[in-house]
Protein backbone atom coordinates (compact mmCIF):
# COMPACT_ATOMS: atom_id res chain seq x y z
CA UNK A 1 0.00 0.00 0.00
CA UNK A 2 1.26 3.48 -0.85
CA UNK A 3 2.03 5.78 2.06
CA UNK A 4 -0.66 8.29 1.00
CA UNK A 5 -3.41 5.68 0.89
CA UNK A 6 -2.31 4.34 4.25
CA UNK A 7 -2.65 7.87 5.65
CA UNK A 8 -6.12 8.07 4.14
CA UNK A 9 -7.09 4.82 5.85
CA UNK A 10 -5.84 6.12 9.17
CA UNK A 11 -7.79 9.36 8.65
CA UNK A 12 -11.06 7.62 7.73
CA UNK A 13 -10.71 5.24 10.65
CA UNK A 14 -10.06 7.98 13.20
CA UNK A 15 -12.94 10.07 11.81
CA UNK A 16 -15.18 7.03 12.30
CA UNK A 17 -13.98 6.45 15.86
CA UNK A 18 -14.48 10.16 16.61
CA UNK A 19 -18.06 10.21 15.25
CA UNK A 20 -18.91 7.09 17.28
CA UNK A 21 -17.63 8.73 20.45
CA UNK A 22 -19.82 11.78 19.74
CA UNK A 23 -22.90 9.56 19.90
CA UNK A 24 -21.80 8.00 23.16
CA UNK A 25 -21.43 11.45 24.73
CA UNK A 26 -25.09 11.42 25.84
CA UNK A 27 -25.26 12.11 29.56
CA UNK A 28 -27.80 11.12 32.19
CA UNK A 29 -30.04 14.00 33.26
CA UNK A 30 -32.15 12.60 36.11
CA UNK A 31 -35.90 12.23 36.60
CA UNK A 32 -36.53 15.96 37.17
CA UNK A 33 -35.55 16.69 33.58
CA UNK A 34 -38.00 14.20 32.10
CA UNK A 35 -40.79 14.99 34.54
CA UNK A 36 -40.72 18.67 33.58
CA UNK A 37 -42.74 17.65 30.49
CA UNK A 38 -43.97 14.15 31.31
CA UNK A 39 -45.99 14.83 34.45
CA UNK A 40 -49.56 15.83 35.21
CA UNK A 41 -52.51 15.38 32.93
CA UNK A 42 -50.77 17.05 29.99
CA UNK A 43 -47.85 14.67 30.37
CA UNK A 44 -50.22 11.68 30.69
CA UNK A 45 -49.10 11.27 34.33
CA UNK A 46 -46.05 9.31 33.18
CA UNK A 47 -43.92 10.65 36.04
CA UNK A 48 -46.63 9.90 38.62
CA UNK A 49 -46.97 6.33 37.33
CA UNK A 50 -43.22 5.78 37.54
CA UNK A 51 -43.15 7.30 41.01
CA UNK A 52 -45.75 4.83 42.26
CA UNK A 53 -43.87 1.87 40.69
CA UNK A 54 -41.27 -0.30 42.41
CA UNK A 55 -38.54 1.19 40.20
CA UNK A 56 -38.62 4.56 41.99
CA UNK A 57 -37.96 2.77 45.30
CA UNK A 58 -35.22 0.44 44.09
CA UNK A 59 -32.42 2.29 45.91
CA UNK A 60 -34.46 2.67 49.11
CA UNK A 61 -34.94 -1.12 49.07
CA UNK A 62 -31.19 -1.61 49.48
CA UNK A 63 -31.44 -0.06 52.96
CA UNK A 64 -34.07 -2.54 54.19
CA UNK A 65 -33.47 -5.33 56.68
CA UNK A 66 -34.19 -7.86 53.96
CA UNK A 67 -31.43 -6.35 51.80
CA UNK A 68 -28.99 -6.40 54.70
CA UNK A 69 -29.81 -10.05 55.31
CA UNK A 70 -29.29 -10.97 51.62
CA UNK A 71 -26.05 -8.97 51.53
CA UNK A 72 -24.68 -10.55 54.69
CA UNK A 73 -24.99 -14.03 53.19
CA UNK A 74 -23.00 -12.78 50.20
CA UNK A 75 -20.29 -11.20 52.35
CA UNK A 76 -21.38 -7.64 51.49
CA UNK A 77 -21.42 -5.23 54.45
CA UNK A 78 -23.46 -2.36 52.98
CA UNK A 79 -25.80 -3.19 50.07
CA UNK A 80 -26.63 0.51 49.45
CA UNK A 81 -23.00 1.20 48.55
CA UNK A 82 -22.04 -2.11 46.91
CA UNK A 83 -21.69 -2.30 43.13
CA UNK A 84 -23.02 -5.86 43.41
CA UNK A 85 -26.46 -4.41 44.23
CA UNK A 86 -26.33 -0.92 42.72
CA UNK A 87 -25.73 -2.38 39.27
CA UNK A 88 -29.46 -3.18 38.98
CA UNK A 89 -31.04 -1.03 41.68
CA UNK A 90 -29.83 2.34 40.32
CA UNK A 91 -29.64 3.67 36.76
CA UNK A 92 -26.26 2.84 35.20
CA UNK A 93 -25.18 1.30 38.48
CA UNK A 94 -25.04 4.78 40.02
CA UNK A 95 -22.21 5.87 37.70
CA UNK A 96 -22.46 9.22 35.90
CA UNK A 97 -22.67 12.89 36.80
CA UNK A 98 -26.45 13.19 36.34
CA UNK A 99 -27.32 10.10 38.39
CA UNK A 100 -28.93 10.51 41.78
CA UNK A 101 -28.90 7.17 43.59
CA UNK A 102 -32.07 7.99 45.55
CA UNK A 103 -34.02 8.06 42.26
CA UNK A 104 -33.42 4.33 41.79
CA UNK A 105 -34.32 2.84 38.39
CA UNK A 106 -35.24 5.94 36.40
CA UNK A 107 -36.70 6.72 32.96
CA UNK A 108 -33.16 6.71 31.56
CA UNK A 109 -32.54 3.10 32.70
CA UNK A 110 -34.96 2.06 29.97
CA UNK A 111 -35.06 5.03 27.57
CA UNK A 112 -31.32 5.76 27.47
CA UNK A 113 -29.29 8.77 28.66
CA UNK A 114 -31.32 11.84 27.72
CA UNK A 115 -29.02 14.86 27.32
CA UNK A 116 -29.11 14.68 23.51
CA UNK A 117 -32.81 13.87 22.96
CA UNK A 118 -34.54 15.85 25.75
CA UNK A 119 -35.09 19.04 23.72
CA UNK A 120 -38.71 19.60 22.63
CA UNK A 121 -37.96 19.70 18.88
CA UNK A 122 -36.07 16.39 19.12
CA UNK A 123 -38.68 14.72 21.34
CA UNK A 124 -41.41 15.50 18.80
CA UNK A 125 -39.44 13.81 16.00
CA UNK A 126 -39.34 10.08 16.74
CA UNK A 127 -36.60 9.20 14.24
CA UNK A 128 -34.35 12.05 15.33
CA UNK A 129 -34.87 11.19 18.99
CA UNK A 130 -33.87 7.58 18.33
CA UNK A 131 -30.80 8.80 16.46
CA UNK A 132 -29.87 10.82 19.53
CA UNK A 133 -30.11 7.87 21.85
CA UNK A 134 -33.79 7.40 22.75
CA UNK A 135 -34.70 3.75 23.29
CA UNK A 136 -38.41 2.91 23.12
CA UNK A 137 -38.21 -0.83 23.73
CA UNK A 138 -41.70 -1.76 22.55
CA UNK A 139 -42.18 -5.55 22.81
CA UNK A 140 -38.56 -6.06 23.81
CA UNK A 141 -38.15 -8.21 26.93
CA UNK A 142 -34.34 -7.95 26.62
CA UNK A 143 -34.61 -4.36 27.82
CA UNK A 144 -35.92 -5.67 31.13
CA UNK A 145 -33.81 -8.80 31.34
CA UNK A 146 -30.60 -6.86 31.75
CA UNK A 147 -31.82 -6.57 35.37
CA UNK A 148 -34.69 -9.07 35.64
CA UNK A 149 -32.45 -12.12 35.38
CA UNK A 150 -31.24 -14.95 37.63
CA UNK A 151 -28.28 -12.84 38.84
CA UNK A 152 -30.84 -11.07 41.02
CA UNK A 153 -30.63 -12.66 44.49
CA UNK A 154 -34.45 -12.53 44.74
CA UNK A 155 -35.11 -13.55 41.13
CA UNK A 156 -38.68 -14.40 40.19
CA UNK A 157 -39.40 -15.77 36.69
CA UNK A 158 -40.06 -12.78 34.43
CA UNK A 159 -43.35 -12.70 32.51
CA UNK A 160 -42.88 -9.74 30.15
CA UNK A 161 -46.55 -9.03 29.33
CA UNK A 162 -47.62 -9.23 32.96
CA UNK A 163 -44.74 -7.11 34.27
CA UNK A 164 -45.14 -4.57 31.47
CA UNK A 165 -48.79 -4.12 32.47
CA UNK A 166 -47.63 -3.40 36.04
CA UNK A 167 -45.47 -0.45 34.93
CA UNK A 168 -47.71 0.79 32.09
CA UNK A 169 -47.31 4.55 31.49
Which residues form the interface with ligand HEC (CB under 6 A)?
29, 31, 33-38, 46-47, 50, 54-55, 57-58, 61-62, 64, 66-67, 70-71, 74, 76, 79, 84-85, 87-89, 105, 107-111, 114, 118, 120, 123-124, 126, 129, 136-138, 143-144, 146-149, 151-156, 163-164, 166-167, 169
> Measured from the CB atom, is 9 or 74 closer to ligand HEC?
74
User: Smallest distance from the beta carbon of 1 to ligand HEC, in angstroms?
Assistant: 45
Q: Residue 114 and residue 31: Cα distance in Å, rounded?
A: 10
Judge contact between 57 and 63, C-beta under 8 A.
Answer: no
Shortest CA distance to 118 belongs to which of 98, 145, 100, 88? 98
Half-sphere exposure of 23 (CA within 13 A, CB side): 13
Q: Residue 166 and residue 169: Cα distance in Å, rounded?
A: 9
Q: Residue 112 and residue 91: Cα distance in Å, rounded?
A: 10
User: Smallest distance from the beta carbon of 9 to ligand HEC, in angstroms?
Assistant: 38
> Measured from the CB atom, is 11 or 23 closer to ligand HEC?
23
User: Smallest distance from the beta carbon of 23 to ligand HEC, in angstroms?
Assistant: 16
Closest residue to ligand HEC using C-beta atoms: 114
Q: Residue 129 and residue 26: Cα distance in Å, rounded?
A: 12
User: Smallest distance from the beta carbon of 18 to ligand HEC, in angstroms?
Assistant: 25
> Measured from the CB atom, is 19 or 142 closer to ligand HEC?
142
Amino acid sequence: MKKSSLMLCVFVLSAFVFSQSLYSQAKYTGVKTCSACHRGEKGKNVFEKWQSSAHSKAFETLKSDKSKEIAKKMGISDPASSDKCLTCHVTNGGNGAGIKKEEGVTCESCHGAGSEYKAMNVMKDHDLAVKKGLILGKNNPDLCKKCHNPKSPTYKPFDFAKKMAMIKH
